[in-house]
């Protein structure tokens, strides 16, 4: 047996590269990533390819290793080239991501040291750091000292945790689920609807509150619904507002909804995954007034703080509720119970072992301070106003004045034989989108609003500046001219 153990040790030690091997591989990885970063302004925002990364499948996982050069070539060709380049300043579709560099270094350190950030006993410093970030976030949105939260993998998980917490705090169970009512608008992000289903709340009554012309929840209608539902002996328990909808960037009247939530004893959940960080700006503070009234709130650093993908946050006004829904004990973890100065993430989330996400948030904020983040957010607000006004000047039909950094627009083509034909107008705008995406220098996306194929300008990539917005305006003008001729 000892002989076999020693044999196995020899092979298993291959898992620990030598200092020299580490240096060689690291050099190549750094060279590859530095080339990307140095060329980022020249690299397209979207690459249409025929294979769509299919060749990655030609190199199956097997017993034999390959060298780092080959591995990088596979990644470069099949992973980093095809499709969307979210690191690009030309990413003006969906809700853009980013990829702040120091977060990558935070992740590097988190992975090398592999601190066990789920439990205070195992890694008190890591847990203190994560909770410190939660307290900072709770502070900027104006939550009281009772607040707590969790660093999640993204906004969808954060929404799920908020909704599960609401369900338990309002004691929704098989006994009352069919009489229990949830209020939201059709503009709510689909991760919220998914969360309602996953949380087992599909049998609740879901009321879609009508919206005003700017896609914001109409609070008069909400109040009417609440009062009728109360009279009908139903159980209104949850209202969900958006602080920045994905489709149009609308911010619901957060303060008025908060007052109704209080008067009707509802749990108030706000999805501020996209819009929450604008609270760091003066304009955002005004637009997001009332955010502090939420019982649970989602805010995504991998959107509004431009971090690489993998960080959302759920905040709960009274952490006791989050804990009640997510806490569990195991016998083998009995030693971990003693001497905890801080609540452990494992007691506040469905996860036990987890990535130490705090470091990717803490490091860039410490190395750069909050100021450039605030400036970047304010710049995006102004770039969106600029786009909205310039695209109108080009003759596009524009949506409502942007509230945050999403602006909608579409081209109404000259249709001599069938003016106003919605299908033809939709088709034209679809072709326009495809032409911009095929060009690839700028990436845009679309949505359907009242049956209209509508183009979206979504400005949140930290590398987007005036140059990229002007380029988009130029591309749109050129493509419209070409498509108008082809009709
Ligand atoms: C408003 C809003 N909520 C929630 C989400 C879901 O977040 P994630 O993609 O991080 O899961 C998004 C994603 O774009 C969003 O825009």
Q: Whose CA is nearest to atom 16 of ligand 1?
A: 246
Q: 230 and 173, same structural domain? A: yes
Q: 280 and 377, same structural domain? A: no
Cα–Cα dist 455/210, whole Å: 23
**Pocket residue to mutate for ligand 1, from 269, 300, 403, most atoms within 8 A of Cβ:** 300
φ and ψ at residue 99, rounded to 5 degrees:
125, 50
The model's pLDDT over 40-65, given as tens digits with 9 standing for 90+, comes to 999 999 999 999 999 999 999 999 99
Find the CATH number of the domain harbouring 255. Answer: 3.40.640.10
Query: Does residue 8 fall inside a structural domain?
Result: no
Q: 381 and 363, same structural domain? A: no
User: At 261, is the secondary structure helix, strand, or coil?
Assistant: helix
Reported confidence tier of residue 417, pLDDT bands at 50, 70, 90: confident
Neighbours of 329 (CB within 10 A): 10
Is there an atom of ligand 1 within 6 Å of 155 CB? yes
Average pLDDT over residues 255-273: 98
Is there an atom of ligand 1 within 6 Å of 349 CB? no
Is there an atom of ligand 1 within 6 Å of 312 CB? yes
Cα–Cα dist 342/120, whole Å: 7
DSSP state of 145: T
The model's pLDDT over 115-170, given as tens digits with 9 standing for 90+, comes to 999 999 999 999 999 999 999 999 999 999 999 999 999 999 999 999 999 999 99
Cα–Cα dist 458/387, whole Å: 10
Cα–Cα dist 401/389, whole Å: 9
Average pLDDT over residues 221-248: 98
Mean of pLDDT over the chain: 97
Ligand 1 centroid – CA 195 distance (Å) = 12
**Which residue's entry shows tokens 């502070």?**
139
Ligand 1 centroid – CA 188 distance (Å) = 10
Q: Which residues contact 235 (CB under 8 A, 6 or more apart)?
A: 172, 176, 179, 180, 181
> For residues 201 and 266, is the Cβ–Cβ distance under 8 A?
no
**Which residue's entry shows tokens 């949505």?**
447
Reported confidence tier of residue 336, pLDDT bands at 50, 70, 90: confident
Q: 380 and 361, same structural domain? A: no
Reported confidence tier of residue 332, pLDDT bands at 50, 70, 90: confident
Ligand 1 centroid – CA 170 distance (Å) = 25
Does the pLDDT of residue 487 top 80, yes or no?
A: no
User: At 140, is the secondary structure helix, strand, or coil?
Assistant: helix
Query: Does residue 480 fall inside a structural domain?
Result: yes
Reported confidence tier of residue 9, pLDDT bands at 50, 70, 90: very high
Does the pLDDT of residue 204 top 90, yes or no?
A: yes
Q: 356 and 263, same structural domain? A: yes
| The last residue of a domain, from among 332, 349, 368 | 368
Domain containing residue 158: 106-368
Cα–Cα dist 356/156, whole Å: 19
Ligand 1 centroid – CA 152 distance (Å) = 12
User: At 342, is the secondary structure helix, strand, or coil?
Assistant: coil
Find the CATH number of the domain harbouring 457. Answer: 3.90.1150.10
Query: Does residue 95 fall inside a structural domain?
Result: no
Query: Which structure tokens are listed for 28?
Result: 């190549």
| The last residue of a domain, from among 339, 368, 397 | 368
Is there an atom of ligand 1 within 6 Å of 240 CB? no
Question: What's the number of domains the chain is made of?
Answer: 2
Query: Does residue 68 fall inside a structural domain?
Result: no
The candidate with the shortest Cα–Cα distance to 110, out of 362, 305, 299, 350, is 362
Is there an atom of ligand 1 within 6 Å of 248 CB? no
Query: Does residue 349 fall inside a structural domain?
Result: yes
The pLDDT score that the predictor gives to residue 205 is 98
Cα–Cα dist 169/76, whole Å: 48
Cα–Cα dist 394/445, whole Å: 19
Q: Confirm whether pTM is higher than 0.85.
A: yes
Q: Whose CA is nearest to atom 5 of ligand 1?
A: 155
Cα–Cα dist 383/402, whole Å: 11
Helices (H) and strands (E) in the chain, counts: 16, 13
Ligand 1 centroid – CA 355 distance (Å) = 20
Is there an atom of ligand 1 within 6 Å of 191 CB? yes
Q: 278 and 146, same structural domain? A: yes
Q: 320 and 185, same structural domain? A: yes
Query: Does residue 201 fall inside a structural domain?
Result: yes
Q: 281 and 418, same structural domain? A: no
Cα–Cα dist 309/303, whole Å: 8
Cα–Cα dist 325/313, whole Å: 16
Average pLDDT over residues 337-353: 93
Reported confidence tier of residue 466, pLDDT bands at 50, 70, 90: very high
Is there an atom of ligand 1 within 6 Å of 156 CB? yes
CA 187 to chain CA centroid, nearest Å: 16
The pLDDT score that the predictor gives to residue 222 is 98
Ligand 1 centroid – CA 95 distance (Å) = 8
The pLDDT score that the predictor gives to residue 420 is 85
Q: Which residues contact 156 (CB under 8 A, 6 or more apart)?
A: 191, 194, 195, 312
Ligand 1 centroid – CA 300 distance (Å) = 8
Reported confidence tier of residue 4, pLDDT bands at 50, 70, 90: very high
Reported confidence tier of residue 334, pLDDT bands at 50, 70, 90: confident
| The last residue of a domain, from among 312, 334, 368 | 368
**Sign of the dihedral through C-alpha 114, 118, 123, 127:** positive
Cα–Cα dist 227/220, whole Å: 11
Query: Does residue 62 fall inside a structural domain?
Result: no
- Pairing mode, strands 452-458 and 445-449: antiparallel
**Sign of the dihedral through C-alpha 379, 380, 381, 382:** positive
The model's pLDDT over 420-442, given as tens digits with 9 standing for 90+, comes to 899 999 999 999 999 999 999 99
Is there an atom of ligand 1 within 6 Å of 300 CB? yes
The model's pLDDT over 359-396, given as tens digits with 9 standing for 90+, comes to 999 999 999 999 999 999 999 999 999 999 999 999 99
Q: 298 and 270, same structural domain? A: yes
Is there an atom of ligand 1 within 6 Å of 271 CB? yes
Q: 473 and 351, same structural domain? A: no
Query: Does residue 390 fall inside a structural domain?
Result: yes
Does the pLDDT of residue 7 top 80, yes or no?
A: yes
Q: 420 and 408, same structural domain? A: yes
Is there an atom of ligand 1 within 6 Å of 182 CB? no
**Pocket residue to mutate for ligand 1, from 93, 154, 270, most atoms within 8 A of Cβ:** 154
Q: 323 and 404, same structural domain? A: no
Ligand 1 centroid – CA 36 distance (Å) = 27
């Amino acid at each position: 047996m000892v002989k076999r153990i020693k044999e196995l040790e020899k092979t298993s030690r291959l898992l620990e590269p030598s200092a020299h091997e580490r240096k060689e591989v690291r050099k190549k990885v750094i060279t590859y990533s530095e080339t990307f970063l140095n060329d980022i302004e020249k690299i397209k925002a979207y690459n249409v390819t025929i294979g769509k990364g299919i060749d990655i499948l030609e190199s199956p996982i097997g017993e034999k290793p390959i060298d780092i050069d080959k591995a990088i070539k596979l990644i470069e060709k099949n992973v980093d080239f095809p499709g969307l380049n979210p690191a690009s300043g030309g990413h003006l579709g969906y809700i853009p991501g980013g990829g702040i560099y120091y977060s990558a270094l935070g992740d590097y350190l988190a992975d090398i040291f592999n601190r066990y950030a789920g439990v205070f006993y195992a890694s008190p410093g890591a847990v203190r750091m994560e909770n410190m970030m939660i307290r900072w976030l709770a502070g900027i949105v104006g939550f009281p000292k009772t607040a707590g939260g969790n660093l999640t993998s993204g906004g969808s998980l954060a929404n799920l945790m908020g909704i599960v917490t609401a369900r338990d705090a309002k004691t929704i169970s098989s006994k009352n689920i069919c009489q229990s009512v949830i209020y939201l608008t059709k503009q709510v992000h689909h991760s919220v609807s998914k969360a309602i289903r996953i949380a087992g709340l599909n049998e609740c009554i879901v009321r879609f509150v009508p919206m005003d012309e700017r896609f914001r929840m109409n609070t008069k209608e909400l109040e009417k619904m609440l009062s009728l539902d109360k009279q009908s002996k139903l159980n209104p328990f949850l209202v969900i507002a958006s602080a920045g909808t994905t489709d149009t960037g609308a911010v619901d009247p957060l303060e008025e909804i908060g007052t109704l939530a209080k008067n009707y004893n509802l749990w108030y959940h706000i999805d501020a995954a996209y819009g929450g960080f604008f609270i760091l700006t003066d304009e955002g503070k005004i637009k997001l007034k009332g955010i502090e009234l939420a019982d649970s709130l989602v805010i995504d650093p991998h959107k509004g703080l431009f971090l690489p993908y993998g960080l959302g946050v759920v905040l709960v006004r009274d952490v006791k509720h989050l804990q009640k829904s997510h806490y569990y004990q195991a016998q083998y973890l009995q030693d971990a119970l003693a001497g905890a100065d801080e609540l452990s993430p494992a007691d506040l989330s469905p996860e036990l072992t987890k990535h130490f996400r705090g470091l990717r948030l803490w490091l860039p904020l410490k190395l750069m301070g909050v100021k450039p983040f605030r400036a970047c957010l304010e710049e995006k607000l102004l770039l969106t106003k600029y786009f909205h006004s310039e695209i109108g000047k080009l003759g596009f039909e524009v949506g409502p004045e942007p509230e945050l950094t999403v602006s909608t627009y579409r081209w109404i083509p000259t249709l001599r034989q069938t003016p106003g034909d919605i299908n033809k107008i939709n088709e034209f705008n679809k072709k326009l989108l495809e032409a911009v995406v095929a060009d690839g220098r700028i990436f845009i996306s679309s949505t359907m609003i009242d049956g209209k194929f509508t183009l979206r300008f979504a400005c949140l990539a930290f590398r987007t500046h005036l140059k990229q917005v002007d380029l988009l305006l130029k591309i749109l003008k050129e493509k419209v001219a070409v498509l108008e001729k082809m009709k």
